[in-house]
Structure formats: structure tokens, C-alpha cells
Structure 1
Amino acid sequence: MNFLRRVFEHGRFGFVLLLFVLMVSTLGWKIVDLHVFDHDFLQGQGDARSVRHIPIPAHRGVITDRNGEPLAVSTPVTAIWGNGRELQAVRDQWPVLAEALGQKPGRLSERLEQAANREFIYLARGLTPEHGQQVLDLNIPGVNALEEFRRFYPAGEVAAHVVGFTDIDDKGREGMELAFDQWLAGVPGERQVLKDRRGRVIKDVQVLSNAKPGGELELSIDLRLQYLAHRELRNSLLEFGAKAGSLVMIDVRTGEILAMVNQPVYNPNNRRVLQPGVTRNRAMIDVFEPGSTVKPFTIAAALATGKWRPESVVDTTPGWMRIGRYTIRDVSRGGQLDLTGILMKSSNIGISKIALDIGAEPLYSMMHSAGFGQSTGLGFPGERVGVLPNHRVWKEAEIAALGYGYGLSVTAVQLAHAFATLGNDGKSVPLSLIRRDRAQEGHQVMEAEIAHQVLRMLRAVVEEPGGGGSRAKVPGYHVGGKSGTAKKVSTSGGYTDDAYRSFFAGLAPLNNPRIAAVVVIDEPSKGGYYGGLVAAPVFGRVMAGALRLMNIAPDNLPVETKTAAVVPGKGGRS
């Protein structure tokens, strides 16, 4: 037994010794292998603990107007971030850090306490590079910086509703910044750096991929016209105590939007007290019943049927008519009126009788072809298409109301587009907020001769006595247009008795139309509310400035008759 016990004990000792030798041999071989044969593994593990990949921010594309004036540019800024865990060890330096960042010490301390277990927290963003470097020069452990870009808008509130703005992460949030965000954003790059154990960059290793800047965007708007429209619309709201307003100008030939302004406005460079509703581009988002501004299209629909001619006469006496339980009234009595007289007097009676005579189908077809109730195709965020009713069975009251601009809803842009069609020989071309080198193909809404006949009627509305649009006149130019006034819909149903929208839509110069414009004034509260009184003067002033700025030749200059003086005894002639 003793012999067997000694053999067993010696065998177990040998086995343990053998295992120990094998383990030592394995470790030795691994050390040799890692240092000699597989050196890249150790290098990779070391790099994993010190090499970092840092994104290179892409420069967002510039937005300009049609003449190259900058509307949105990006400037380099610095973001300061901190490692919450490391900053816990330097609490005594928090007040110094807060002072350098321009923050309240108590607020910063509270944030750092909450981020005690986080390795990343933004301490401040949007600092100038100089300010950011001053913070870094404090050499506070756990405080680092990132390169970023911040958007700046040189035109400020003047172009805010068109251009929009980006958020703190440089992502488009409104307007064209949002609509073309992917095009403008670009592609970030990446660089490889070495950092120490505190996360500080100690060496730039290499650029893995260069940042690709975003594409530039050249808008169709003309900043000169934008300033002009902005000023006149603002002054009108102040004069008449109005709640809000919009103004749109369109190039008749190309469909480019030359100006689009709204009131109230906001400053995209300072959005600390921004009210959400103020960012709304009313010209494309707010819908309204256009009132008498659609009467020219009812006239065009009547002419297109062949049953009506410009000299056709309608009896509008006694100035009111009943359709079912509804009573339609005229503001001014006109008696026997031809089609031009109906537009000049803005006769609801006359236009209703025309609409009832031709029926709903021609009326609906004309307005649908003109773009009412349809998307403009601009792709603007939040754009609304309005409503153009198409009942299976039309009531007489519905037909009459549609004829004088009630029962449908449009946007200011849609209305301006329709008037541009009148000025383009009855052809509708697609709208654009991007500058075009040439016009695109469109579709014929009405015969060119019908469009010319309607324009002559609109000219009489502005230039003939009693037309109601005399305040839209532009010295030296023939102008045509139509005013409108519509009651606002009440939230409790029906229409309000004391809240109106005032409109004016028109074109110039009529001998060769170049610009169509629409003015909308929402709830004027003093000095009147009729479109011819409130909106027409804004149209006239803006159109006069636009024609001059675009160097469009006058078409209504007085003709001077030159005569030679007769000199006695010299045989002069006259």
C-alpha cells in the first residue's frame, strides 16, 4: 500500500508539473508570436484605445437670389462638449468654466451633476472660433471642442418665409432649407486622430474622407423686389390696422416667383422668442375664398362657351336677386351692363346670371384648368391646394356663389398663377421658386383671344372712371386688375359681420404683360376694408417699383405733338 501511495503521489506531482510547463510554454510562445509574428494585433489593440475617428462637418450650400445676392450662408462655429465623469474630479473649476462659457454657475453645476455618468454632454454650441479657443485654453480636464457650422441669413426677416431656417444641428426645418435639405446638406468627411487618456487630440493621423460641400441653390426671387414688397405690405398693415397680409409677384412668361412676402414676420437670425405661427408662409399655406377676384375667370368661361360676347348685356336691376333662400346683392346699382361693366362695377347680380346661364361644368372646367384646387408643384413644405368643389348635382346657389368667388378656397400663389395665365395668352406655365433660364411647356387654359378680351376688361377696371381699381394705377404703364372683398368664415359657422379679407390681383404692362401680382390684406380694422381701397394701392406702389427695377419699358406714355413756331416773314409752317 505504501508503495502504491508513493507512486500515485509522484505521478500526480509529475502531472501538475507537466501542466505548468505546458502553460509556461504556451504563454512564452504567445508573447513571441505577438511581438514577432503577429505584431499588427498589438498595434491594433493599442490603436483601439487611442485612435479615434472624428467627423469633418460638411459646408452647407449657399442660397442666393436670382442675381447672386446671398440669402443663406454658413459660418464656422465651435461647440464645446464635456466628459461628465472627468469633470466630476475638477468641481473647483466649474465656476471658471461657467464664466468662460457665459453661463450661470448654478445652472452649469446642475447640468454637470445630472451628467455625472455620461461621457458626452454639450456645454455650449455656436461659439465663435475665438471664443471656443479661449475656453480650451483653460485646460480644464474633460472639456473638448467640435467644429460645426452655423447658418446666417443676410436678408433677415425680408426673405424668411421663403428661405426658412435650419436647427442647431444644421438641418433644414422650414422653407427652402427644409425642401432642399438633402441637396444643401452635403456629405460629412472623416479624419483619424490620436487622443490621450483624457480624450484630448494629440496628433492628426490622416484624413480618411474629405467632406463634400452641399450644392448651391439659386432661387427665382429678386431680393430688390422682395425688399420693396416687404416694405409696402408692412406699411399697409400699419395704415389699416390689419392682422396679416401676403404679396406674391410672378414672371408671366417663365412662371418664376419674383417675390413672396408675408406679415407678420420673424428674424431667422434670432429665434429665441419665436412664435410658431409666425413662421407660416401664408402665401402658400393660408387658404381663403377669393371673392370678386375670380370674376374674370367666370367671364372667360362664358366667352369660351360662345354664348356670350364682350358686348353682351345683363340687366342687373333692381340690384338684388333671390336664389332659393339666399339673397344676392350688388354694392352699387349698375342697370344694363355689358361684360366689361360687370367687372368694373363688380356686379354679383350680373356675374351670377352669367354663371347660371352657362352652368357649372364650364365654370368648374375653367377654374380647374387655371389651377384652383390643385397643387402648384412647387414642393414647398406645408403647401395647401385649397378646395374647388365639384358636386355631382349642383344647386343654383352653389353655381352663382362659385361665379363670384365663394364656395371655393385658394392660396395667394394660386390666384397669382391664374392671373399670370391671363397675361400669357391664356397659357399656364408651371411655377418655380428656382431660377429658370427659359420657360417650360405649359397647357392652354383658354384661347389667346379670350385672354386678350378679359385683359381689356381688366384694364377698364383700373383706368376707366368708376372701375373700382383706380388706386392700382401705375404712371406710364397700362395696368389691368380686379379687386375683391370677402367676409371671413366664422369659427361658429357661417360668415362674420365685421371681419374681411381685401384683395387685389392684376398684371402690367398690359401691352406685353410681364408681371402678375396678388395682394391679400387680412382683417383691416380702420380706414375701410374694400379691396379697391386697401389692397389696390399696395399693388400700384409695388408694381411701379418692380417695373422700374426690372427696366421694363413703359407702354402708356403721353404722346407729345411737336409743332414748329411760325416766324413772321420767314414762311414757317405748323
Structure 2
Amino acid sequence: MSKKFLIFDSDDLKKFHKRVFFSIIVFLGFYFVAIFRIADVMVFENNVKEITNIKANIERGKIYDRNGQLLATNIDNYSLAANPLKINNKSDLSNQLSAILFLDKEVIEKKLLSQKKFVWLKRNISPKEHQKIIELGEIHLRTLLETKRIYPFQNIGAHVLGYVDIDNKGQAGIERGLDDILNKGENIFLTIDINLQNAVQEELESTIEKFSADSGVSLLIDIKNGEIISLNNFPDFNPNRINLSSMEGRFNRALQANYEMGSTFKPIIVALGIDENIINKEMMFDVSQPINSIRDYHPFVGSLSVKDIVVQSSNIGAAKIAHKIGKKKQIEFFRKMGFFEKLNIQIKEAAQPLGNKNNWGELETMTIGFGHGFAVTPLHIATAYASILNEGRRVKPTILLGTNNISSEALVKKETSEYILELLRAVVTETEYTGPRVRIEGYEIGGKTGTAELINNLGQYQKDANLTSFIGIFPISKPQYLVLTIVENPKKIKEENYNITGAAVNAPLVKNIILRMIEILKIPRLPASEILNAAIRINYHRYYVTQ
């Protein structure tokens, strides 16, 4: 079989070579453009990685309440960046982006004039913004997938959870305190009950609104193990919109504010005196005359017992007890109670009390007896009460579920603890003013009111501005829950015929909180026999003691 050959003349061969050469040139051109483009993208994305952890391999851990309700989680979200060195039409592009992103043109243009290879134009853009950016078709803009932290309950529990910055770094609350754990992708469960947190917030805000108060605090703690079940502040903030929050709203009063607590301090001083055998139950103190500027809200005639000094809330009596105890013993006891240091809790912004043991004269030794001249945080006073009432054993507060915070360290004797419980029960069962405002039929409640003058920025007491408080214990026979409420600067209601005190403002608030607890936790009433015994105790006091 004969072979056939294609024969080209010299012109055809030249044309063929030209076509091949041209094809190679075109191919190499596209190849180098592609390589340059890939390199450009790699450089751009390397710059991204240097600046922030884009869609990290380990997703930040979620936060749950004690019952498994989701409190903090993550969603995928886009952010917009650019390579300014590659953009020519900066002014036109700034105009277009300004309309899409709702940002000032000057702000965008300033970023596009940067000499950097990478700049953020806007973090966490909306899906609508994302789509419009794609439609622009500007190849030197990048929409990068990131993780955004969200809080489903918004402001509820905000001071517990805290918030993160734009790069998901914890800035406050648990987000800051347990940042290392969460960054490893580990989920955490808190002691908070979000349903109770919400209920307490509603009651706190209702009271603040009713009395046109400036702010307020509430703490609900399990006395047995130190678990914080709710921690509430007002004003508050929405961690989903932290850029719209105020410093006042972000301030965690429950852990950071220092207050002179007024009469809620009296049981602590009495516990010290009883435990050290400096005073006893039978002692009587003359309260008929003021001590310099120390006087009683309602003057008393003659003498009062230790019990009545607490139950009837005599400042003169408490000052005399404190003076009898003395400065040295007070400082020793307060140090043991942790009043001179920060509490070790997972929320790192917790503050140290302002008590100054170096400026502690005879007057301060007396006024401390009724909670003046010594400032502590709400968590400090709540923890001190819990420790005294937990059979005298130290209670360590915690916000992290599963923390082994049970302590066998005794701060006061069991007998002292039982006596203080007796006094707190009497405040509710034996008083005509406080008792009716907090009693709940079928449930045993104890507590102590407090009213103190607020201090202004010059360190002066304000006669027309009070701090009111109430610490409730429930149930008082087997104490488990402590409810602390504080209201700053409540105003007198014209239509109401009573003064602004802890009994008037905070006792009803604590009652309402306990009612919500009963409903949410399904706490049963006492058996009829125990209700009868409680009634007998109340009537015995009224007939045999007050007659």
C-alpha cells in the first residue's frame, strides 16, 4: 500500500509556524495572567489571615444555661475587604459603596487611598449588601466568610455573658473570663437559669420604673453551693448591638459597684460579736440617746436587746455593738470574709471593695455597725450572708455549672448561723412595716432591709438620695436561696403615704421575685402543720412580747 504525504510549499509552512507561534503566545499570556491573578489572590488572602482569623477551623464554643438553653452561638457572615493598590476608580467606587453600605463616602475613600494591600471596608455585611457587592463586579473587592457571635436572648443575661469584639475576642463577662476555653471550641454551661433571669429582670425594671430610680441590681444565689442563678442589672445593653450601648449600660453593678449597704450590714456585725462571745443574746443596749450624728430613723425609748436592734433596725444599738467589738476584730473578720479583695469568680471585671483598713477611726468602727463608712460590691455582701447562713461554712460564688465550690472552711460557728437565721425570720414575721410587704402564705421567708444615703462625686452624703436594699432568704428554716436587691435613688410617689426605704421599695420586689421563683421552679407550699406552727410563732411574739 502506497503512503501519501502532505506537501507544503514554503509560504504555507511560514503561515503554519506563525499560527503555532501566535497560539503559544496567547496561551502563555493567559497562563501568566492566571498565575499573576492566583498570586494576587494568595497575597490578598494571606493579608487577610494576618489581620483576622477568617472562618477559623475551630468554631468558638457555645454557651448554655443550666437547663441547656442556648445563650451564645455563632453564625456565618460576610465581611467586605479591598486591595486599594489595585483599584483605580476610587472616587466612583466610594460613591457606589457608600450607597450600598450606608457609610460616609469620605470614610470609604480614605480607606481606598491607603497604601496597604488589604483594608476592611465593612465587617458583618447583610445578605442584601453582599448581593449588591457581587453585582458591582469589582474584582479587587472581596467578600470574606467570617463567624459572627450572636446572643438569642439579647439583653437578658448580658452582664453575665458579656460580649466579643469584631474578631470574636472576649471583652467582658464570661466571654472574656473563659475566652481561652471558648476559643478551643469547648461549650460551657452556666449556673444561670435564663427563665428566672428574664423574670427577675422584669420585676427589677418594673420597680425602677415605679419609683423613677436611677438603677438597680439583683442577685439570686444558691446558698448551699454558691451557684449564681440570676445576676441582673439595670440599665443594661444588647450584646448583639454593642456599638449602640452606653458605658452606663455595660457597667456590671452586681460585681463592679461599691455600695455602703446600710442596715443589711447589721446581721454581719452581730454574727461577729456573737461568734467571738463579745456580745450575747441577753445583752441590752441603751438606744435612747443619739451618739453624735448617729441616730435612729424612728427614736426608741430605753434599751433594746441584740435581737431587737436587728429586727427594729436601730443604728444606735448597732453602733454600740460595733464599738464593743472594736476595730481589730472587725478587720480580722472582714479579711476572713474576703471584704478586702476581689472575689475569685469567672467574670474578671469583678471589683475589690473600697474598705480602707488604714483609715479606720473610732467613728468608722461604730458606723460600720449599720453599714456606713465601708463599701462593698453586691456580690461581696451576698456571699458573706450565704457563708454565715450555710451553717457558717464559706460559700464561693460561681457562674460555671459543675464547679466544685463546696467548702468545709468554717467562718462562724453553726450556733451563730442559727441565731442569725432566727433574727432574719423575725424581721419578716414580727414587724408591722417590713413583714406584710414580703410575706407569702405557705412559704417561710426571712430577710433584712437596708436604707443608706448615697454618696455624691465629692464624697458627701446626699440627704435626698437613698440606696435601698433587701436581702431575702428562702426558705428560712432550710435556707437554699438568697435574693439580694438594690435600688439606687428611688423617688417618693406622691400618692403613697410612706417614705423611701428598703421596706417600701425592695421588700415587695423580693416578694415578687420569690413568687416568680415559686412559679418557674414549681416550689410547693409548706404542709398545713408547718404553716400552723409558723402562725403560732408569730402570734406568740405579738401577744407575749409586744404587749
Normalising by structure 2, report the TM-score. Answer: 0.82
Aligned to 2:109: 110
Give the 3 Å change call, closer, same or farther, for CA 548–423 of structure 1 in structure 2: farther
1:209 match:
none
Question: Alignment partner for residue 286 of structure 2, among 278, 300, 315?
Answer: 315
CA offsets 1:432-481 (integer angstroms, 9 cap, x no match): 11012654224211111111111111101011133634422233211111
1:264 aligns with 2:230: no
2:81 is matched with 81
Q: Map of 1:140-539 to 2, 5 A cutoff? A: 140-186=138-184, 214-317=185-288, 320-323=289-292, 326-333=293-300, 335-391=302-358, 395-436=361-402, 438-466=404-432, 468-527=434-493, 528-539=499-510
8 A Cα contact 1:77 1:147, kept in partner = yes
Alpha-carbon shift at residue 332 of structure 1 (Å): 3.7
Equivalent position of 2:59 in the other structure: 59
Deviations 1:76-127 (A, max 9, x none): 001121121322158656655554x333684476346523x43222222212
Relative to total residues, which structure has the larger helix share, 1 or 2? Answer: 2
Q: State how far apart, in whole Å, the 2-side matches of 1:109 and 1:376 are.
A: 46
Contact 1:334 1:345 in 2 (8 A): no
Q: What is the SS of the residue equivalent to 1:260?
A: strand
Structure 2 gap ranges (5+): 1-34, 494-498, 533-547
**Letter in structure 2 aligned against 1:254:** N
Distance 2:261 2:443 in 1: 26
Moved more, 272-281 or 90-99: 90-99
Contact residue 475 and residue 544 of structure 1 kept, 8 A: no
The secondary structure found in structure 1 opposite 2:452 is: strand
* Separation of aligned partners in 2, 1:299 and 1:90: 74
Could you tell me whether the CA contact under 8 Å between 1:321 and 1:327 is conserved in 2?
A: yes
**Aligned residues with identical type, % of pairs:** 27
Shift in alpha-carbon separation, 1:231–1:109, aligned structure 2, 3 A: closer
Q: Which runs of 5+ in 1 are unaligned?
A: 1-43, 187-213, 562-574
Structure 1 residues 282-306: Cα deviation after superposition (integer angstroms, max 9, x where no partner): 1111101111101001111221132
- For 1:374 and 1:553, locate their aligned partners in 2 and report how far apart those are by CA, in whole Å: 39
Deviations 1:479-531 (A, max 9, x none): 11110111112333431111110011121101111111211100112234211
Matched with 1:189 is none
Q: CA deviation at 1:358?
A: 2.8
Instruction: Tell whether the 8 Å contact from 1:311 to 1:339 is kept in structure 2 after alignment.
Output: yes
Name the CA shift for 1:484/1:97 in 2 (closer, same or farther; >3 Å).
Answer: closer
* Aligned equivalents of 1:363, 1:556: Cα separation in 2: 41
Is the Cα contact below 8 Å between 2:97 and 2:105 reproduced in 1? Answer: no
Q: 1:355 to 1:112 in 2, by over 3 A?
A: closer
CA shift, 1:248, in A, is 0.6
Q: How many aligned positions are there?
A: 484
Change (3 A) 1:154 1:104: closer
Question: Which amino acid letter does the alignment assign opposite residue 273 of structure 2?
Answer: A
The code of the aligned residue for 2:426 comes to A
Name the SS for the 2:295 alignment partner: strand
Q: Which amino acid aligns with 2:399?
A: L
CA distance in 1, matches of 2:113, 2:191: 49
Partners of 2:455 and 2:462 within 8 A in 1: yes
Rg comparison, structure with higher value? 1
What are the Cα deviations for residues 18-76 of structure 1, in whole angstroms up to 9, with x where unaligned?
Answer: xxxxxxxxxxxxxxxxxxxxxxxxxx999977756565424211111111111111110
Q: Following the alignment from structure 2 to structure 1, what is the Cα–Cα distance between the partners of residues 216 and 506? A: 10
Check the 8 A contact 2:282/2:306 in 1, yes or no.
yes
2-structure distance, mates of 1:514, 1:477: 13
Counterparts of 1:368 and 1:555 in 2: how far apart (Å)? Answer: 38
* Greater CA drift, 546-555 or 284-293: 546-555
RMSD (CA atoms): 2.7
Distance 1:51 1:246, change over 3 A: closer
Aligned mates of 1:273, 1:338 — CA distance in 2:
54
State how far apart, in whole Å, the 2-side matches of 1:95 and 1:490 are: 50
Residue 170 of structure 2 aligns to a residue whose secondary structure is coil
> Do the aligned partners of residues 370 and 556 (structure 1) sit closer, same or farther apart at CA in structure 2, a change above 3 Å counting?
farther
Contact 2:192 2:230 in 1 (8 A): yes
What secondary structure is seen at the aligned counterpart in 1 of 2:353?
coil
The CA distance in 2 between the partners of 1:496 and 1:94, in whole Å, is 54
Distance in 1, Cα, partners of 2:382 & 2:531: 35
- Return closer, same or farther for 1:556/1:486 CA change in 2, 3 Å cut-off: farther
Task: Return the alpha-carbon distance in structure 2 between the equivalents of residues 176 and 303 of structure 1.
Answer: 39
Q: Which amino acid counterpart does residue 341 of structure 2 have in structure 1?
A: Q
Amino acid at match of 2:71: L
540-549 or 128-137, which deviates more = 128-137
Q: Secondary structure at the match of 2:260?
A: coil
**Shift, 1:395, TM fit:** 4.0
Mapped contact 1:76–1:148 kept (Cα < 8 A): yes
Q: TM-score, normalised by structure 1?
A: 0.78
